[in-house]
């Protein structure tokens, strides 16, 4: 279901024929166009909307207008209407964002805003976006979204916010940078001259200068107060007496004047005003349905002509709203004068909206009427369409508006509630909702078995969905178990789905089969994982869920990568792109992730240019074509490219960024970003930070091994080897060697060839560190044999100078000479030098200190790290700091490499 757009929210209020010209404020607004934001923040009744609408009528820029309401707290609704507002000035604007919002799993708000910002940057003209009534939405995510928009705002756009209270935006920063124009109560108050013009020219009174001054003083220039005072004075004979008695602050003035105005209206008008105060938007037929009268349209037009706080919402004068403060007071009087009518009025409004296809308004009014049974029926009948379009936020909003007791008697709503909570990551309440539904199903089955009537307490509005509940419950239980890491539970419930759901219902059966594949993946059985997941995704694709099928292609490729089958992984990515193209949507959601995956494969093949181009392609296509993990994946891929280019600091910066972008999902995260950062630290010689990571993660060389932590344990082995090179402690080498041997056996048994190759390379390096080249060539030769058919390069080249030494030794022994030669080209091709000459020819970026020379001299001996510290009479931590500085200056990552580099530069 596409999010319906309320056209009335996009209507720019037309200035009234009779209006006080406020040129001083218009000039302020015009001056503000050179800044990012204009904030019109004032209390109710100060004419914010009137002023801004008058200004935009004469503005020389196109204007997009969005009037906000409480329902805009829903992400999809807010963003859909934001795009629709922008489309009023550019028809084809935001097409990509609209597609993203309509996809089963919309991307993050920042991703969608990034797409919009990029499109705005391409516009050849400047325009204004007005967000009116910003105060009615109380949602941190919207404040964050607008802050993000302002931070990256292109010069083509100027934002105007009209609100009763300060928004939670970085106003101080904007103010300090000269990006903010502000209009507040003191600015918007009528001056004595403006008050006189309003009372006499606009409201048709004939007051003396003293009388207008008195009213302006009593109201402190409050426009709503002056307007109500003018309405109350119309027809009075003793105007001076009224003005003398007129006192009080704004709210009391409003209450008093509304009461005065209401009492002076004919009963039909007074009744109309009170009864229609339950409506957020006024429409002739809707008003007739609520009031039981037949003159709604005519009355609205009459009220507008009489300056009766009625604001038109469209050019055809079919939809209106009351001034918000006026509506609030009317509503208060309604509850006081006719409390028994409130529920009936809301019920009539709900019925009208249901008949005219507005489920959201129908549900809201039913809840306001406290007719929770009707509201629950409406929700149950409307949610299937929301579920198909994955609008869980709107679903949760509806369900949370119902009393919990009502939901608990409705098994269909209970299950949907569980699904919406699971999708939103609120796992703690999922089990309770599913258990309630299961209890009703058990009771129903028991009653039917005894041929008794179904339980009277249970309510079902959608019989078809009720019949599907057992399979749906099992799907959600399988998903919950997987997220919690319960592999047996995932398999148990996924198999139950296959037993319960008929063959002709491919989506739940495909989802269950895919979950079985993910469970096998989590267990490390990659071949079974690939087979089951591929079967499941085929079912999902058959059901028409193409975007989910593309997401499946990404997982299938990742499994193949773990198996060391890089070429099959690339084919999986290519099949995903063809699937999108075959359905006429080459930029379907998920394709951005595919390009990032293809980038990582190109990086491994040492085609860094192609790797960067694929990431660029994904960014140009837009984050909206990626899944929630896209921004994380993209940052990691760029970090790996920077690492391959030798920019280790740049790689770390991107990994830190990725750390904040990560969001969990059903797919495995087998390469945690903290472990990736630790590998970069090791490459930089920052052993202390790497050891801190080991302690924080609670890792040891004697841990039980599992696939989920295999990458972390391989990283631990790297840290142990780096520590050995730093302090020459045999214990570190012993622990690293034992761990690598156990890791190799586990990876071989699991068919994880990608890990096998890396472990063999590390075993070779461990022997090289101990000076045993013949022993090092044994695992290296096996690694080369496994790696050559798939074209691995960076898995060797990323190890730096020691790996180059071993590869040169392998080539001298005639081990895979052509392949080794191709790998060696990766070490020096950036600068056109061979590995032997590359390091030696580069001068030091910074000279060594005297103390660092002392440390370097001792590093060339057989002394261990603690022995060197004692020799120099410094602490071990101080020695590590000196050693790190030496590594940085010599551009090496090990003790042996530091000594060799120092010899090449004659530093010893």
Lowest mean pLDDT across 7-16, 406-415, 636-645? 7-16
pLDDT for the residue 17: 62
Model confidence at 281, in pLDDT bands (50, 70, 90)?
very high
390 part of a folded domain? no
Give the alpha-carbon dihedral of 806, 811, 815, 819, to 10 degrees.
100
40 part of a folded domain? yes
Q: Once rounded to an integer, what is the mean pLDDT over residues 685-710?
A: 94
Residue 238 and residue 163 share a domain: no
Number of neighbours of residue 704 by Cβ within 10 angstroms: 7
- Residue 711 and residue 671 in contact, taking contact as beta carbons nearer than 8 Å: yes
Cβ within 8 Å of residue 731, ≥6 positions away: none
Question: For residue 565, is pLDDT > 50?
Answer: yes
Tokens of 254: 């409003």
518 part of a folded domain? no
Question: For residue 837, is pLDDT > 60?
Answer: no
Sign of the dihedral through C-alpha 146, 147, 153, 159: positive
In 278-402 the beta strands, taken as DSSP E runs, fall at 282-283, 310-312, 319-322
Residue 183 and residue 247 share a domain: no
Residue 98 and residue 43 share a domain: yes
484 part of a folded domain? no
Phi-psi region of 646 (alpha: psi -120 to 50; beta: other; left: phi over 0): left
- What is the tens place of the pLDDT at every residue in 12-24? 987 766 677 788 8
Which H, E and C letters describe 794-839, residue by residue?
HHHHCCCHHHHHHHHHHHHCCCCHHHHHHHHHHHHCCCCCCHHHHH
Among the three residues 230, 246, 264, which one is the final residue of a domain in this structure? 264
461 part of a folded domain? no
Question: For residue 100, is pLDDT > 90?
Answer: no
Q: Which of 154-168, 255-269, 341-355, 571-585 has the highest mean pLDDT?
A: 341-355
Q: How far apart are CA 479 and CA 471, in angstroms?
A: 12
pLDDT for the residue 105: 58
Lowest mean pLDDT across 466-475, 485-494, 795-804, 827-836? 827-836
Residue 73 and residue 13 share a domain: yes
Rg for the chain (alpha carbons), in Å? 35
579 part of a folded domain? no
pLDDT for the residue 146: 93
Determine which helix (DSSP H) or strand (DSSP E) holds 854, and give its type and residue range. helix 850-859
Question: For residue 813, is pLDDT > 80?
Answer: yes
Model confidence at 3, in pLDDT bands (50, 70, 90)?
low
Question: For residue 891, is pLDDT > 80?
Answer: no
pLDDT for the residue 834: 39
Q: How far apart are CA 232 and CA 905, in angstroms?
A: 95
Q: Which of 422-431, 699-708, 891-900 has the highest mean pLDDT?
A: 699-708
Question: For residue 385, is pLDDT > 50?
Answer: yes
Residue 856 and residue 727 share a domain: no
pLDDT for the residue 273: 92
CATH number, position 74: 3.40.50.300
Question: For residue 366, is pLDDT > 50?
Answer: yes
Q: Once rounded to an integer, what is the mean pLDDT over residues 623-638?
A: 78
Q: Once rounded to an integer, what is the mean pLDDT over residues 390-417?
A: 85
Residue 201 and residue 154 share a domain: no
Residue 884 and residue 766 share a domain: no
Q: Select from 161, 186, 221 the least CA-distant residue to 40.
A: 161
Which position has the token pair 């068919």? 751
Q: Select from 363, 383, 368, 380 the least CA-distant residue to 461.
A: 380
Q: Once rounded to an integer, what is the mean pLDDT over residues 396-412?
A: 90
Phi, psi of 706, rounded to the nearest 5 degrees: -150, 160
Question: For residue 831, is pLDDT > 50?
Answer: no
Residue 121 and residue 219 share a domain: no
Question: For residue 252, is pLDDT > 60?
Answer: no
Model confidence at 203, in pLDDT bands (50, 70, 90)?
confident
Model confidence at 718, in pLDDT bands (50, 70, 90)?
very high
Model confidence at 838, in pLDDT bands (50, 70, 90)?
very low
Tokens of 76: 């999809």
pLDDT for the residue 388: 55
pLDDT for the residue 865: 80
Q: Beta strand pairing status for 310-312 and 319-322?
A: antiparallel
DSSP for 444-505, please give it: HHHHHHTTPPPPTT---S-HHHHHTHHHHHHHHHHHHHHHTT-HHHHHHHHHHHHHHS-TT-
Question: For residue 872, is pLDDT > 90?
Answer: no
Among the three residues 264, 295, 328, which one is the final residue of a domain in this structure? 264
Model confidence at 785, in pLDDT bands (50, 70, 90)?
very high
Q: Which of 350-364, 544-558, 782-796 has the highest mean pLDDT?
A: 782-796
Domain that holds residue 247: 192-264
Kindly give the residue spans of alpha helices, DSSP state H, lying in 264-341: 267-275, 284-291, 296-305, 324-337
Tokens of 32: 């503000």
Residue 827 and residue 808 share a domain: yes
Q: Once rounded to an integer, what is the mean pLDDT over residues 126-136?
A: 94
Q: How far apart are CA 594 and CA 609, in angstroms?
A: 17
- Residue 59 and residue 128 in contact, taking contact as beta carbons nearer than 8 Å: yes
621 part of a folded domain? no
What total number of domains does the chain contain?
4
Q: Which of 304-318, 346-360, 611-625 has the highest mean pLDDT?
A: 346-360
- What is the tens place of the pLDDT at every residue in 737-778? 999 999 999 999 999 999 999 999 999 999 999 999 999 999
pLDDT for the residue 16: 67
Q: Which of 108-112, 629-633, 794-798, 829-833 has the highest mean pLDDT?
A: 794-798
Round the average pLDDT of the chain to a whole number and report it. 85
Side-chain half-sphere exposure of 445, counting CA atoms within 13 A = 9
- Residue 625 and residue 100 in contact, taking contact as beta carbons nearer than 8 Å: yes
- What is the tens place of the pLDDT at every residue in 634-690? 899 999 999 999 899 889 999 998 888 776 666 778 899 999 999 999 999 899 999
pLDDT for the residue 6: 84
863 part of a folded domain? yes
Q: Once rounded to an integer, what is the mean pLDDT over residues 861-869?
A: 80
CATH number, position 756: 1.25.40.10
Residue 791 and residue 709 share a domain: yes
Model confidence at 833, in pLDDT bands (50, 70, 90)?
very low
Model confidence at 717, in pLDDT bands (50, 70, 90)?
very high
What is the share, in percent, of the chain residues with pLDDT greater than 70? Answer: 89
- Residue 350 and residue 362 in contact, taking contact as beta carbons nearer than 8 Å: yes
Kindly give the residue spans of alpha helices, DSSP state H, lying in 662-772: 673-684, 687-697, 710-727, 730-749, 753-769
Determine which helix (DSSP H) or strand (DSSP E) holds 128, and give its type and residue range. strand 127-132
Sign of the dihedral through C-alpha 109, 115, 119, 120: positive
pLDDT for the residue 392: 65
- Residue 137 and residue 168 in contact, taking contact as beta carbons nearer than 8 Å: no
Residue 710 is given by DSSP the state: H
Among the three residues 145, 172, 188, which one is the final residue of a domain in this structure? 188
Question: For residue 307, is pLDDT > 60?
Answer: no
pLDDT for the residue 835: 39
- What is the tens place of the pLDDT at every residue in 39-73? 998 877 778 898 999 899 888 899 999 999 888 88
CATH number, position 883: 1.10.10.10
Reduced to 3 states (helix: H, G, I; strand: E, B; else coil), residue 542 is helix
Question: For residue 76, is pLDDT > 60?
Answer: yes
Which whole-number Å values give the CA distances from 419 to 396, 460, 472, 546, in the listed order? 10, 18, 9, 21
- Residue 100 and residue 106 in contact, taking contact as beta carbons nearer than 8 Å: yes
DSSP for 156-220, please give it: TEEEEEEESS--SS-HHHHHHTT-EEEE-HHHHSPPHHHHHHIIIIIS-----HHHHHHHHHHHT
- What is the tens place of the pLDDT at every residue in 509-539? 998 999 999 999 988 889 999 999 999 999 8
Residue 872 and residue 753 share a domain: no
Cβ within 8 Å of residue 560, ≥6 positions away: 530, 566, 568, 569, 572
What is the share, in percent, of the chain residues with pLDDT greater than 90? Answer: 43
Residue 253 and residue 167 share a domain: no
Q: How far apart are CA 472 and CA 434, in angstroms?
A: 10
pLDDT for the residue 389: 47
Q: Which of 264-273, 597-606, 895-904 has the highest mean pLDDT?
A: 597-606
Model confidence at 444, in pLDDT bands (50, 70, 90)?
confident
């Amino acid at each position: 279901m596409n999010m319906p757009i309320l056209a009335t929210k996009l209507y720019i209020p037309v200035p009234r024929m009779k209006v006080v010209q406020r040129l001083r404020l218009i000039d302020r607004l015009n001056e503000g166009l050179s800044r990012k934001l204009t904030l019109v923040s004032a209390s109710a009744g100060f004419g914010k909307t009137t002023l801004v609408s008058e200004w935009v009528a004469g503005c020389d820029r196109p204007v997009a207008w969005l009037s906000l309401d409480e329902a805009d707290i829903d992400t999809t609704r807010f963003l859909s209407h934001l795009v629709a507002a922008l489309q009023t000035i550019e028809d084809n604007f935001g097409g990509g964002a609209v597609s993203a919002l309509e996809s089963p799993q919309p991307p993050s708000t920042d991703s969608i805003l990034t797409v919009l910002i990029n499109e705005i940057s391409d516009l050849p003209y400047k325009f204004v976006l007005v967000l009116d009534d910003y105060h009615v939405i109380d949602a941190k995510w919207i404040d964050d979204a607008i802050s993000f928009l302002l931070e990256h705002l292109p010069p083509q756009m100027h934002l105007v916010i009209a609100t009763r209270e300060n928004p939670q935006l970085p106003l101080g920063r904007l103010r300090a940078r000269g990006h903010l124009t502000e209009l507040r109560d003191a600015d918007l108050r009528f001056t004595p001259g403006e008050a006189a013009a309003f009372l006499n020219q606009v409201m048709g009174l004939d007051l003396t200068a003293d009388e207008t001054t008195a009213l302006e003083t009593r109201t402190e220039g409050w426009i709503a107060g002056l307007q109500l005072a003018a309405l109350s004075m119309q027809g009075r004979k003793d105007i001076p007496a009224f003005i003398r008695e007129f006192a009080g602050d704004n709210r009391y003035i409003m209450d008093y004047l509304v009461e005065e105005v209401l009492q002076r209206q004919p009963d039909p008008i007074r009744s109309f005003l009170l009864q229609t105060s339950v409506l957020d938007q006024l429409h002739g037929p809707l008003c007739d349905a609520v009031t039981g009268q037949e003159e709604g349209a005519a009355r609205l037009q009459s009220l507008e002509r009489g300056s009766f706080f009625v604001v038109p919402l469209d050019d055809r004068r079919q939809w209106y709203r009351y001034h918000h403060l006026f509506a609030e007071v009317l509503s208060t009087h309604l509850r006081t004068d006719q409390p028994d009518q409130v529920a009936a009025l809301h019920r009539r409004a709900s019925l009208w909206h249901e008949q005219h296809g507005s489920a959201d308004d129908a549900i809201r009014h039913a809840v306001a009427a406290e007719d929770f049974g009707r509201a629950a029926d409406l929700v149950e009948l409307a949610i299937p369409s929301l579920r198909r379009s994955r609008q869980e936020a709107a679903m949760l909003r509806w369900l949370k508006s119902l009393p919990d007791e009502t939901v608990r008697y409705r098994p269909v709503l209970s299950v949907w509630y569980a699904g919406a909570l699971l999708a939103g990551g609120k796992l703690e309440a999922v089990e309770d909702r599913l258990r309630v539904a299961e209890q009703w199903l058990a009771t129903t089955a028991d009653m039917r078995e005894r041929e008794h009537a179904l339980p009277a307490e249970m309510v079902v509005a959608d019989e078809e969905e009720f019949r599907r509940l057992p399979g749906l419950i099992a799907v959600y239980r399988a998903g919950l178990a997987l997220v919690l890491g319960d592999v047996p539970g995932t398999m148990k419930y996924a198999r139950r789905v296959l037993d319960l759901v008929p063959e002709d219902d491919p989506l739940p059966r495909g989802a269950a089969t895919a979950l079985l594949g993910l469970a096998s993946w989590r267990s490390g059985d990659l071949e079974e994982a690939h087979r089951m997941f591929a079967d499941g995704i085929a079912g999902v694709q058959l059901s028409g869920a193409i975007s989910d099928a593309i997401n499946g292609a990404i997982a299938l490729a990742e499994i193949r990568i773990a198996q060391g089958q890089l070429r099959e992984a690339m084919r999986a990515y290519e099949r995903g792109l063809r699937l999108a193209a075959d359905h006429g949507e080459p930029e379907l959601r998920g394709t951005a992730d595919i390009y990032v995956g293809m980038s990582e494969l190109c990086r491994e093949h040492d085609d860094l240019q192609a790797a960067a181009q694929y990431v660029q392609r994904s960014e140009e296509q837009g984050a909206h074509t990626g899944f929630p993990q896209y921004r994380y994946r993209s940052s990691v891929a760029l970090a790996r490219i920077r690492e391959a280019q030798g920019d280790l600091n740049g790689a770390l910066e991107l990994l830190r960024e990725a750390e904040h972008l990560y969001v969990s999902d059903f797919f495995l995260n087998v390469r945690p970003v903290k472990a990736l950062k630790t590998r970069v630290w090791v490459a930089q010689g920052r052993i202390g930070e790497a050891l801190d990571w080991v302690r924080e993660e609670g890792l040891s060389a004697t841990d039980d091994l599992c696939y989920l932590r295999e990458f972390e344990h391989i990283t631990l082995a790297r840290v142990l080897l780096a520590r050995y090179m730093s302090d020459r402690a045999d214990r570190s080498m012993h622990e690293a060697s034992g761990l690598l041997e156990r890791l190799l056996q586990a990876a071989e048994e699991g068919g994880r060839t990608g890990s096998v190759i890396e472990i063999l390379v590390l075993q070779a390096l461990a022997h090289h560190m101990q000076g045993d080249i013949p022993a090092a060539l044994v695992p290296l030769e096996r690694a080369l044999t496994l790696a050559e058919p798939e074209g691995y390069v960076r898995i060797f080249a990323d190890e730096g100078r020691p790996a180059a030494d071993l590869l040169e030794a392998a080539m001298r022994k005639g081990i895979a000479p052509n392949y080794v030669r191709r790998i060696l080209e990766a070490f020096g091709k950036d600068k056109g030098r061979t590995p032997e000459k590359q390091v030696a020819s580069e001068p030091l970026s910074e000279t060594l200190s005297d103390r660092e020379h002392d440390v370097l001299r001792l590093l060339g001996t057989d002394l261990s790290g603690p022995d060197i510290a004692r020799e120099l009479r410094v602490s071990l931590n101080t020695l590590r700091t000196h050693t790190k500085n030496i590594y940085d200056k010599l551009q090496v990552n090990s003790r042996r490499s530091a000594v060799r580099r120092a010899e090449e530069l004659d530093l010893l």
